Amino acid sequence: MVTEHPNGYLVYDPDYLNIRRSDEVVFIQITLNQGRSLELKKALYARIAELLHQEVGLRKEDVLINLIEVPKEKLVLRERRGPVRNVTAWTLVILN
């Protein structure tokens, strides 16, 4: 899901973690199964920031990524058919 917000809508610290961010900041939230190493997570962060920089010119410092790690037994993908052209979509469900 991608949501764009007008200037001034998002409240954020432009110097969070001592990294200077601009008003072009992009927040990315990823839900995934628990268990990945810190090295793998850092590689993911670096790759996403690099691709956004290469493809759309976004400063790497303006990419803020948040991971939500969930135990495997609580993360379920459910298939559903859309009303238009019988498109298949996947819904991410986190069980309580």
Condensed to tens digits (0 to 9), the pLDDT of residues 25-56 reads 888 988 888 889 999 999 999 999 999 999 99
- What is the rounded CA–CA span in Å between residue 90 and residue 19? 35
Nearest Cα to 31, choosing from 88, 75, 83, 82?
75
Q: What is the mean pLDDT of the chain?
A: 80
Alpha-carbon distances, residue 77 vs 23, 26, 82, 88, 96 (angstroms): 34, 26, 15, 12, 14
Predicted structure pTM score: 0.70
Residue 71, pLDDT score: 80
Q: Which domains does the chain have, with CATH numbers?
A: 16-71 (3.30.429.10)
Alpha helices in the chain (DSSP H): 38-56
What is the CB neighbour count within 10 angstroms for residue 63?
A: 22
